[in-house]
Amino acid sequence: MKLMREAGSESIHDQALLTVVLLDRVQDTGRYPTRERLLKHFYFIGHSYDLGWSASFLRQVAGPLAGDAPLLGHERHAVEQRWLRQEKNLLLAGEAIAEGQLQAAAFAQPLLPQLVCLMELFRRFDREGLVRWAVVHHVVEALNAADVPVDVEAVKQRIAADAEPAWQALLEERTFSDAHLQRTLRGLVEQQLVVVKQWQRNEPPASTTEQDNTASGLWE
């Protein structure tokens, strides 16, 4: 489904409007609208629909975000339009939020079913869980494109070989342990967020257990 324009200022404008929509939805779940949370939802929407975003841009929004990272183009545009305002690591409603919401209404309508699903899925995820899901999803897509069989080790090797030190450093975090990565692979597949072309051992990870669905957040 193609909903947004391909490139240039018009694309940034629509991306900014999507961020306005995401702000409303994230706040409805009771979570703080941090840039990281908004960007990870933004990333999965970009993969769910044909929005004309480049692979490099998707990689950028999938990866870890430093606390002092400058605003991305679409975030900056939303702030310049006064739809949003930045407060430390949060993006909050700006003086002209109503105008942004009005402009966003038409093109956002086809996105709402997936938005609702993503909000429900991620409502209990913390920052680390969101980053891991987006990074692992991006890595699996890259492995698929390279016809490399997928398993936890292949995911770790791809992250370790990344040119960005911030990506490499993820493997030192507790939440990127083998067990966390295995649960994330399983969750991405079971939630139909990714299709694995070939598993390393010709079979997907074991089915989700009841314990994986407890208060820790689905597969988080």
Tens digit of pLDDT per residue, the chain (220 long)? 334 443 344 489 999 999 999 999 999 999 999 999 999 999 999 888 877 888 889 999 999 998 889 999 999 999 999 999 999 999 999 999 999 999 998 878 888 888 899 999 999 999 999 999 999 999 999 999 999 999 999 999 999 999 999 999 999 999 999 999 999 999 999 999 999 999 987 566 665 433 333 334 445 5
How do residues 117-142 score in pLDDT, each as one tens digit? 999 999 999 999 999 999 999 999 99
**CA pair distance 127, 130, nearest whole angstrom:** 5
Let me know the angle formed at the C-alpha of 6 by 1 and 191, rounded to the nearest 5 degrees.
Answer: 40
**CA pair distance 181, 188, nearest whole angstrom:** 10
- Please tell me whether the overall predicted TM-score, pTM, comes out greater than 0.85 for this model: yes
Quickly tell me which residue has 């070939």 as its tokens. 198
Quickly tell me which residue has 């989700």 as its tokens. 208
Amino acid letter, residue 36 = E
pLDDT of residue 207: 53
Q: Find the helix or strand (DSSP H, E) in which 34 lies.
A: none
Which percentage of the chain shows pLDDT scores above 70?
87
Quickly tell me which residue has 């009005």 as its tokens. 102
Q: State both tokens at 203.
A: 């079979």
